[in-house]
Chains A and B, each alone.
Chain A
Amino acid sequence: MAAAESPSAALRRRDLCSRGIRLAGKMRADVVDLLDAYVEQQGLDASASVAAVEGVPLAAVERWDEQTGTQRLLENLAAYRAFRALLAQMLEEQREQLGEADTGLGRALAAVLLQVSAFAYHLEELLRLESRGIPGEEGDEEEEEDGPPPPPRLSLFEQKLRGLGVLRELAQWAVRSVRDLRQLAKPSPATGAAPGLAESS
């Protein structure tokens, strides 16, 4: 992967990694702040335990250090695409519940949504640099069409709890993403693909 990498591509990769790390860091900070605001706004208990959100891969993974770069990128991309959809849904529900009046929380959600989108873009770019095909979201759509029916409409409280779960998971993913990108940003000893392959193997 890296053997065919031109200097400009290497720079681009490094740059993308760097930005991705900082973006993930900022996203984590913003999500933490948003969590506080969300809990307060929605009248939830910050210590309430929430079940895993459906559709979002868990940030915690076994044998994380054995993952290849591509694998990391793909998992990250899948996760952030899921977050993007969930956050958009949350934003929509937020607007439905509170209208345009609550601009603070809505704006913060929109900002996080943008960051998630931006981070997904970073991941796609990195995958492109690694000459890997970017999994399309069509599959998801197909899945939506062909797969299980859309989840039943949740109650308001369930929506709030799900939102809390999404944000918490996103905060964890932000931490993991930083670590993943730092791992990717490390200069490869021989070939860029080797560690990845080694890790994946």
Chain B
Amino acid sequence: MFSRWNWVACAFYLVLSICSPDASSGLVQSCGHIIPESPVLALGSNFTALCILNESCLDFGNIYASQIIWKIKNRLVPKEQYREINRTVSSVTFNDTSSLATPLTCNILADGQIEQNIYGITVTVGLAPEKPKNLSCIVHQESRFTYAMTCTWNPGRHTFLDTQFRLRYRWPEQIFPDCIPKDVNNSCTIDDSQFFVNTEIWVEATNALGKAVSDPLVVDPIDIVKPLPPQNVSVTSGLLPTVLQLVWENWISDAVMTLKFNIRYRIVGDTNWMEVPPEDTASPRTSFSIQGLRPYTEYVFSIRCMKEDGVGYWSDWSEEKTGITIEDQPSKGPPIWRIIDTSQSPACWTVHLIWKALKPYEANGVILQYELTVRDKSSLSSPVKKYNVTSTNYTLQLREGTYEVTLIARNSVGPSPPSVLLIPASNSKAPVKNLRTLPKHDKLWVGWTAPNNYVLKYVIEWCLMSSSSDCIIEWQIVLGDVQGIDLKGIKPFKCYLITVYPLYADGQGSGQSVKAYLKQDRPSKGPTVQTKKVGKAEAVLTWNHLTVEEQNGFIRNYTILYKTIDGNETVVTVDPSKTEYTLSSLTSDTLYTVRMMASTDNGSRTGPDFTFTTQKFGKGEIEAIVVPVCLAFLLIVLLGVLFCFNKRDLIKKHIWPIVPDPSKSNIAQWSPQVPAKHNISSKDQMYPEGSFTDVSVVEIEADDKKSFSEQDLKPFDLLKKEKSTSEGHSSGIGGSSCMSSPRQSVSDSDEGETTQNTSSTVQYSTVVLNGYRDQTPVQVFSRSESTQPLLDSEERSEDHAGGADSTPQRQQYFRQNGGQDETNTDRPCFERTKQITHANEGDLVGFVQLQISGQSSQPLGLGMEKNTQEAAVSNVLQTCTEGQTVRAETVEENPLSVDEMPKSYLPQTVRQGGYMPQ
């Protein structure tokens, strides 16, 4: 029971002792402590700590050293490192302090289980300072009277501890205040350094683990001074054009130290400094005259100083000051050249004299004017011409000849030596050989081989080639012993034309030219290709050369790339001089894509695509097909025509059957009225009504009576005579002289269809061979509609003559058909018709209209018209017959004649249609 209370009391005491912030001064004391308290340890050293328990805790809480455990932070220290010194002291040992960390605590396992902290310490691990090395000092002059000495050193390794560095210095009998660096550990500045006394300087580094002192530096600060550069530098020009005087102030007195100097200078715009020989400025001074300068040239000067004996440091360079030398007369004449224009006339030159402005170091001042003198060497009597020019070119009109041109440049001091240019009458002397170029970085080297003769000078002309502007010539003159120069200002990717002329003492050689690039690139664009002609298997491509600006180099070749939509690309290389190429072996009727690539030494550029389609047929193929076909067709037509021509009779026979000319019928010959043919007025007497027995007469009445004048009818009558004469023996044709067609005749007879076929059924009447009365008998074939023997016809004619009752009907019959037979000039029919017209005018109206249409009017129909025209024009004799036929057909188509059908022949045909009343 007691022990239990004892344990509780002990635990309570421990808690109080641990929680107490100030155990030593508080009510409750700690049960122990660690020795050493917050040590600073050297990294890598060994370390032993002791934890000492208070006796009071031993008695009260049964706590002993054997129960102590050590911890680093929360990590338990292995028990192998513990050692129980006695019942109240436990030690722990670390062989290497690098394994240590903060805090290191001493703890106790109360009752074997409960871990209670007794004490803890902070352990600091670091390194002792190293000895500072490489101490060096420099005294900077800050103003005319103040000098600050800055010393630097190498502080050594990092110590991990707070390390203080001190720069200390002293005289033998006086120690100065330490210089403590701010924010750094490797330099410090002493503001008031004193000269001419050796000063011992050293550095001390101190931290918790020790102190290190550098080797002392003993130096008189005057020997380590870096003075301020000379001030108020000024440059003045003297009397000589090659001298400038430099004046300055030194900011360090001679009492402190004497100085020596460096002077450097350069031409304005130039970056390279020149330096006055140091030995010339090795003594104290405040001015110096720089000689050997170029006249009228602006120079930049700068100066620096240091202690005369060379011990110490050079000052910085002073601010730059400029000065300009005075003018001197030009040192040489301007280079002069000429361009001769003989375009107006070969005998009259336009000479453009051009010269270069002298370089500043040659002009030695401002060139006020150029004095030009031209002397005609071919004519001694010619006066010397002088010109004063302010520009750098002059144009003269000279006759062809040899001239000597002299040029002098003049400035305010004097003239230059003269430059002489000989302009010979011809440039026929030897040219340079083997002209070549070679790019050299940003310059283009031009080289040549000298001609065999002695050359005074060479003139090198070059110009940038352009397609849009003229070549602006630049030029340069070099001496005759030079065989190559570097052209400056040459642009890359530009084509230059370079020409070299040798100048001899007595003339000039012809120029040799070469094209060159400083640097080549691929063309800026590719050629645009297009087709000039496209065939079935070939295509002629054409393109324009790239302009010189687009080329960017020498075009080595063109490459044509072409392909079909789904085919492989074909590549063709073409000579760069060509602008046309023919692609062959192409597939017909195929779409091709073609593009073109121009190549230089440095690459290629492809132009836009161009598409074209090859033709389906080659050249001449269509002609080869069409022409034979046409020829064959023509041959066939020709053969057909020839055949038709040869068989025209047969064809005619088939198409136009020979219709007997009624006028040539024998009836006309035996008819008493035949002689009356020649006397129209007596026609009625020619064909007395009694002479016709069974004759159908078709009387056609023309609308225009005049068209049937006697004059018109005369030849027709003659033809009829001839026809009748020649055809007098034709058989089977007879009937009425006004008969239009056999069919009509047949229809007139009203004897049925079987009689309509003339060839088979029509029988013709008698042929009368004897003339009537005193007239020449004419063979008249009067077609008879009768199938009776001719004798019957004669008998019937008699009957007919005596039968008066049949006359009116016959007259009407004639009247209806007589109009069609105008061409037959059957005047009796005609006049009879007139008469009848008066009697029965209403029946004739439609028919008269039919006549007009049939003879001369279009609206009746082409078929009919054609037939009518043929009959009327080409064959008068046939016209009669034809007209009869056509009109018969026409009449058949005339519906207006339906009422007359019973009375006449015409209505029968009209009923079949075709004619329209008007």
A26 within 8 A of B: yes
Q: Which residues does chain A contribute within 8 Å of B255, judged by CB atoms?
A: 22, 25-26, 28-30
Q: From the candidates A20, A28, A29, A114, name the one contacting B194 in the complex (CB within 8 A).
A: A114
A111 within 8 A of B: yes
A107 within 8 A of B: yes
Are B222 and A121 interface neighbours, CB within 8 A?
no
Does A140 belong to the interface (CB within 8 Å)? no
**Stretch with Cβ within 8 A of A (4 or more), from B169-177, B443-451, B572-580, B674-682:** B169-177
Q: Does A79 contact B (CB under 8 A)?
A: no
Taking A22-B222, A29-B255, A33-B145 as contacts, is the C-beta distance between A117 and B174 under 8 angstroms? yes
As a 0/1 sequence over residues 76 to 119 of chain A, the CB contacts with chain B under 8 angstroms (1 = contact) are: 00000000000000000000000000000001101100110110
A179 at the interface (CB under 8 A from B): no
Given A19-B196, A111-B192, A118-B194, are A29 and B174 also a contact pair (CB < 8 Å)? no
Task: Judge if B368 is at the interface, Cβ distance under 8 Å.
Answer: no
Q: From known contacts A23-B197, A121-B174, infer whether A108 and B220 are also in contact, taking CB-CB under 8 Å.
A: no
Residues of A with C-beta under 8 A to B253: 26, 29
User: Does B256 count as interface, using CB distance less than 8 angstroms?
Assistant: yes
Cβ of A115 and Cβ of B145 under 8 Å apart? Answer: no
Shortest Cβ distance from A114 into B: residue: B194
Instruction: Output the residue of A22, A28, A108, A121 with the most chain B CB within 10 A.
Output: A22
Looking across the interface, which residue of chain B has its beta carbon closest to that of A122?
A: B197
B153 at the interface (CB under 8 A from A): no
A51 to B222, CA, bound (A): 36
In angstroms, Cα B148 to Cα A54, docked, is 35
User: Interface range on chain B: under 10, 10 to 19, 20 to 34, or 35 or more?
Assistant: 10 to 19
B317 contacts partner chain A, Cβ-Cβ < 8 Å:
no
User: What total of chain A residues lie within 8 Å of the partner, measured CB to CB?
Assistant: 22
Assess whether B196 is in contact with A26, with CB atoms less than 8 Å apart.
yes
For A122, list chain B residues within 8 Å (CB). 196-197
Q: Taking each of B192, B194, B222, which has the highest tally of chain A beta carbons within 10 Å of its own beta carbon? A: B194
B47 within 8 A of A: no
Chain B 187-200 against A: per-residue CB contact (8 Å), 1 yes, 0 no?
00000101111100
Instruction: Determine whether the beta carbon of B174 is less than 8 Å from that of A23.
Output: no
The answer to whether B145 touches A121 (Cβ under 8 A) is no
A interface footprint on B236-265 (CB within 8 Å = 1, 0 otherwise): 000000000000000001111100000000
Q: How far, in whole Å, are A29 and B250 apart by their CA atoms in the complex?
A: 15
Number of A-B contacts (CB under 8 A): 52
Query: A residues 4-38 with Cβ under 8 Å of B?
Result: 19-20, 22-23, 25-26, 28-30, 33
Q: How far is the CA of A147 from the CA of B82 in the complex (A)?
A: 75
Cα distance, A186 to B174, chains bound together (Å): 29
Q: Which residue of B lies closest to A32 (CB)?
A: B255
Cα distance A107–B197 when bound, in Å?
A: 19
Tell me if B196 and A118 are in contact (CB < 8 A). yes
CB distance from B691 to the nearest CB of A (A): 180
- Chain A residue numbers with a CB within 8 Å of B145 are 30, 33, 108, 111
CB nearest to B145 among chain A residues? A33
CB-CB under 8 A from B220, the residues of chain A are: 19
Q: Which of B171, B196, B220 has the most CB of A within 10 A?
A: B196
Which residues on A sit within 8 Å (CB–CB) of B174? 117, 121
CA distance A33 to B195 in the complex (A): 17
A183 to chain B, nearest CB (A): 18
Neighbour of A29 across the interface among B172, B196, B222, B256, CB < 8 A: B256
A:45-84 near B, CB below 8 Å:
none
B670 to nearest A CB, angstroms? 180
**From A174, which residue of chain B is reached at the shortest CB distance?**
B255
B196→A23 contact, CB < 8 A? yes
Q: How far is the CA of A25 from the CA of B194 in the complex (A)?
A: 13
In the docked arrangement, what's the CA distance between A33 and B253, Å? 11
CB distance from A110 to the nearest CB of B (A): 7
CA distance A117 to B174 in the complex (A): 9
CB <8 Å contact, A121 and B171:
yes
A107-151 near B? 1/0 per residue, CB < 8 Å: 110110011011001101100000000000000000000000000
- CB-nearest residue of chain A to B191: A107
**How distant is the Cα of A22 from the Cα of B220 in the complex, in angstroms?**
12
- Shortest A28–chain B CB gap in Å is 7
Shortest beta-carbon distance from B137 to chain A in Å: 17
Cβ–Cβ < 8 Å partners of B194 in chain A? 111, 114-115, 118
Find residues 143-198 in chain B having any chain A CB closer than 8 Å to their own CB.
Answer: 145, 171-174, 192, 194-198
Q: How far is the CA of A30 from the CA of B222 in the complex (A)?
A: 15
- CB pair B192 A121 closer than 8 Å: no
A114 and B192 contact, CB distance less than 8 A: yes
Rounded to whole angstroms, the CA-CA distance of A26 and B256 in the bound complex is 5
Across the two chains, which residue of chain B brings its CB closest to A22?
B196
Q: Which chain B positions have C-beta within 8 A of A115?
A: 194
* Docked complex Cα distance between A143 and B172 (Å): 26
Q: Which B residues are CB-close (under 8 A) to A25?
A: 254-255
**Contacting pair A121 B172 (CB below 8 A):** yes
Identify the closest chain B residue to A19 (Cβ): B196
Contact partner of B195 (CB less than 8 A), chosen from A23, A28, A110, A124, is A23
Complex alpha-carbon distance, A30 and B195, angstroms: 12
Q: How far is the CA of A188 from the CA of B447 in the complex (A)?
A: 77
Q: Which residues of A contact B222 (CB under 8 A)?
A: 22
Name the residue on B nearest A110 (C-beta): B192
Complex A-B, nearest 8 residue pairs according to Cβ-Cβ distance, in ascending order = A23-B196, A29-B255, A118-B197, A25-B255, A19-B196, A26-B255, A114-B194, A22-B196
On A, residues with C-beta under 8 Å from B are 19-20, 22-23, 25-26, 28-30, 33, 107-108, 110-111, 114-115, 117-118, 121-122, 124-125
30 contacts between A and B (CB under 8 A): A19-B196, A19-B198, A20-B196, A22-B196, A22-B222, A22-B255, A22-B257, A23-B195, A23-B196, A25-B254, A25-B255, A26-B195, A28-B255, A29-B255, A30-B145, A33-B145, A107-B192, A110-B192, A111-B192, A114-B194, A115-B194, A117-B174, A118-B171, A118-B194, A118-B196, A118-B197, A121-B197, A122-B196, A122-B197, A125-B172
With A19-B197, A19-B198, A117-B171 known, 20 other A-B pairs at CB within 8 A are A19-B220, A20-B196, A22-B222, A22-B257, A23-B197, A25-B254, A26-B195, A26-B196, A26-B256, A29-B255, A29-B256, A30-B255, A108-B145, A111-B145, A111-B194, A114-B194, A121-B171, A121-B172, A121-B173, A122-B196
Binding site for A on B (CB under 8 A): 145, 171-174, 192, 194-198, 220, 222, 253-257
